[in-house]
């Protein structure tokens, strides 16, 4: 006999002792009582006056109330009031009672009726067996929460019903966010596994178990124990889509950590713990930042050198409000309504939806999409309250920022900034994101999105390096444009005669933190550092973390959030996706033409207008950058529909590749 069937038979056939109380004025001896006792029930006869005390001490599964006792309905109510667990209350009479009497008794929680001479107690036996299982559940769940093995339980529709604490630790997914969601192979694949193993071995990391009590309609996935322990260090490292998992791009530090995980699985004791400690250190976001503590308390001079020359930022230790907390406290407050035209107002109607058409707003606002959507988004997120500035000052600031974008660029213009700002706001609206992001970082993300391509010349970093532009010299060829965007944003904001300093009412500490966050988020948009920031996000651990780590996580999430917003066009509704693609390709066409005319190294040969297959370039961008980033972030943010839209667009581009000819490359942007 199969082991599961043995367990099933054990629960179905083994006799149990169930407690019952018979509330009556007599002895209670009857055919019913004999039948209950022969089925394993321990029956206690109780008088109405002592029924409640007997029930409190015995904790019966069933209570039978003789309808001949005075006020049986009141007795039933008294029984319900003292029962600490669910109890089946039934009435007993010499003969069957009318339907009208049944309905009246049901109002007092008397849900079943039997006669004194009945031998059929099958219903009570069934309830007893069912209760036996239910009463074992708290103990079972307690044990499951204490085990080191990750466990996931799904119903017949493969919807998650339960995950244990180990599951949270090894996947980085919070229990409340997983329960009620469809099962995810990606979540289970997120656990560390040895590289290079056969597919059979990799699939066997999770043991699949059919539950014997539910007619094969309930399923359990249990993580095998050979990789427990070290997994808790890492958050999901492969929430990426399956198509991206075969890619050959992996950070060297990720390869090192994978090798160390492999070794840790083959050793025990102190060496295993040492390897795990080393892995934890290597998983740090600031791998090469010094961690000096041996003299910090004892040597005043050394401490001041450290604080003044190495640790330039001195963050405060106070508890920071999450976006959720901030909006709960500010609920009901509304800023002054801005005056906008009817066309602009209609265009802004659904600015909090993913299908929002920023290009339509660009048209009806006469290319002022950034200032229009910006002020509406800032008002909704109470940015003025956080910064302590007036609505008028914030409006002047966004107009100044908008004026310093190049309207002649087909892609890197103020409308693109508006698009990224709207996407950033949309991402922050996700409850799964908001719970982990503090208020100041949310505001920093919105401001960073608005300025992230400020004064973009319509040419990439490689072009600036090859033409020896002054910006390339200034920033030593490192994240040239990204450094320029954020530096210029603060120069414009802080210049005394411009009267646009939205940070003037922040304390020194608040300003330093806001500036640090904005700089970090804009630098994260450098596509050359794409995989570095993706790896940081993947290794983030969000469960049971200290307050300082929560702050670090908040910034990491916002880095990823703004980065995804910056490359979100492939995940937009198809019409918008297509028009944005034509805009960026047109800009690349012009750069390639200029590079060839000047005899410069051609940055991306594929963007020659005379030969380019635009659909292929879009499929390539999705394959290399967008798919993995969106699969990772949208799973975390519970926005899976965006990845679905991206894949739908990918298939549309793929279908167009065979029909595309260079003649299509003229007049892409109308």
**Catalytically annotated residues:** 412
Cβ-in-10-Å burial (0-12, 13-18, 19+) of 507 comes to exposed
Q: Say if residue 416 carries a ligand binding annotation.
A: yes
Three-class SS of residue 548?
helix
Q: Say if residue 268 carries a ligand binding annotation.
A: no
Q: Tell me phi and psi for residue 45, to 5 degrees.
A: -90, 130
Q: Are strands 219-223 and 62-66 parallel, antiparallel or unpaired?
A: unpaired
Q: Say if residue 566 carries a ligand binding annotation.
A: yes
Three-class SS of residue 330?
helix
Residue 667 and residue 652: Cα distance in Å, rounded?
Answer: 21
Q: Say if residue 603 carries a ligand binding annotation.
A: no
Residue 629 and residue 626: Cα distance in Å, rounded?
Answer: 5
CA dihedral 72, 73, 74, 80 (to 10 degrees): 110
Q: Helix crossing, 508-523 with 480-494: angle to 10°?
A: 150
Q: Say if residue 404 carries a ligand binding annotation.
A: no
- Those residues whose C-beta lies under 8 Å from the C-beta of residue 210, and which sit 6 or more positions away, are 4, 216, 218, 219, 220
Report whether 48 contacts 72 (CB < 8 A): no
DSSP 622: I
CA dihedral 310, 314, 317, 319 (to 10 degrees): -120
| Distance, CA of 536 to chain centre | 15
Q: Say if residue 409 carries a ligand binding annotation.
A: no
Q: Say if residue 412 carries a ligand binding annotation.
A: yes
Residue 128 and residue 11: Cα distance in Å, rounded?
Answer: 11
Report whether 402 contacts 414 (CB < 8 A): yes
Strands of 62-66's sheet in order across: 41-46, 18-23, 62-66, 88-93, 112-115
Q: Say if residue 626 carries a ligand binding annotation.
A: no
Which residue reads 């992996």 in tokens?
250
Three-class SS of residue 255?
helix
Type and span of the H or E element at 92: strand 88-93
Q: Say if residue 406 carries a ligand binding annotation.
A: no
Report whether 307 contacts 295 (CB < 8 A): no
* Annotation: binding site for Zn(2+): 416, 452-453, 566
Q: Which residues are annotated as a binding site?
A: 412-416, 452-453, 566, 618
Q: Which residues are annotated as a binding site for AMP?
A: 412-416, 453, 566, 618
């Amino acid at each position: 006999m199969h082991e599961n069937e043995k367990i099933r038979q054990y629960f179905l056939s083994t006799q149990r002792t169930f407690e019952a109380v018979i509330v009556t004025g007599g002895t209670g001896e009857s055919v019913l009582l004999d039948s209950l006792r022969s089925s394993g029930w321990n029956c206690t006869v109780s008088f109405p006056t002592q029924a409640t005390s007997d029930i409190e001490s015995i904790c019966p599964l069933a209570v039978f109330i003789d309808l001949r006792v005075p006020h049986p309905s009141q007795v039933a109510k008294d029984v319900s009031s003292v029962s600490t667990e669910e109890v089946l209350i039934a009435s007993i009479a010499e003969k069957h009672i009318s339907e009208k009497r049944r309905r009246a008794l049901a109002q007092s929680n008397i849900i079943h009726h039997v006669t004194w001479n009945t031998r059929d107690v099958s219903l009570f036996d069934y309830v007893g067996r069912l209760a036996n299982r239910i009463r074992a559940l708290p103990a079972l769940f307690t044990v499951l929460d204490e085990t080191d093995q990750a466990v996931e339980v799904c119903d017949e529709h493969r919807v998650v019903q339960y995950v244990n604490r180990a599951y949270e630790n090894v996947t980085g997914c919070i229990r409340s966010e997983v329960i009620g969601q469809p099962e995810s192979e990606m979540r289970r694949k997120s656990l560390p596994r040895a590289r290079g193993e056969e597919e059979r071995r990799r699939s066997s990391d999770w043991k699949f178990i059919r539950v014997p009590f539910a007619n094969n309609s309930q399923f359990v996935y249990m993580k095998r124990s050979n990789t427990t322990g070290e997994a808790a260090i890492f958050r999901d490292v492969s929430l990426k889509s399956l198509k991206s998992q075969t890619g050959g791009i992996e950070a060297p530090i990720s390869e090192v950590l994978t090798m160390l995980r492999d070794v840790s699985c083959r050793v025990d004791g102190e060496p295993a713990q040492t390897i795990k400690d080393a892995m934890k250190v290597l998983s740090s976001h600031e791998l090469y930042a010094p961690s000096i503590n041996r003299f910090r308390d004892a040597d005043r001079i050394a401490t001041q050198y450290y604080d003044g020359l190495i640790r330039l930022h001195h963050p405060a230790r106070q508890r920071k409000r999450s976006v959720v907390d901030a909006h709960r406290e500010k609920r009901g407050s509304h800023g002054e309504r801005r005056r906008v035209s009817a066309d602009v107002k209609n265009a802004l109607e659904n600015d909090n939806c993913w299908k929002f058409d920023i290009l339509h707003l660009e048209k009806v606002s006469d290319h002022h999409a950034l200032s229009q959507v910006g002020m509406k988004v800032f008002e909704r997120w109470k940015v003025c309250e956080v910064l302590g500035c007036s609505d008028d000052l914030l409006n002047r600031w966004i107009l100044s920022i908008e004026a310093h974008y190049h309207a002649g660029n087909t892609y890197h213009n103020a409308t693109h900034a508006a698009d990224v700002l709207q996407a950033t706001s949309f991402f922050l609206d996700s409850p799964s994101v908001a719970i982990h992001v503090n208020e100041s970082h949310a505001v920093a993300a919105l401001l960073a999105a608005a300025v992230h391509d400020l004064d973009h010349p319509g040419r990439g970093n490689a072009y600036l390096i090859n033409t020896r532009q002054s910006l390339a010299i200034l920033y030593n060829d490192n994240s040239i444009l990204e450094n320029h965007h954020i530096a210029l944003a603060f120069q414009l904001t802080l210049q005394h005669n411009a009267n646009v300093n939205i940070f003037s009412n922040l304390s020194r500490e608040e300003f330093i933190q806001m500036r640090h966050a904005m700089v970090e988020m804009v630098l994260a948009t450098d596509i050359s550092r794409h995989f570095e920031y993706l790896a940081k996000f993947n290794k983030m651990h969000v469960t049971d973390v200290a307050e300082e780590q929560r702050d670090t996580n908040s910034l990491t999430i916002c880095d990823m959030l703004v980065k995804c917003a910056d490359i979100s066009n492939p995940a937009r509704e198809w019409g918008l996706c297509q028009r944005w693609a034509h805009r960026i390709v047109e800009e690349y066409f012009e750069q390639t033409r200029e590079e060839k005319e000047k005899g410069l190294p051609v940055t991306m040969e594929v963007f020659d207008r005379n030969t380019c297959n635009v659909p292929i370039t879009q499929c390539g961008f999705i394959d290399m950058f967008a798919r993995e980033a969106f699969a990772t972030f949208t799973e975390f943010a519970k926005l899976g529909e965006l990845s679905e839209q991206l894949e739908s667009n990918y298939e549309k581009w793929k279908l167009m590749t065979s029909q595309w000819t260079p003649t299509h490359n003229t007049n892409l942007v109308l």
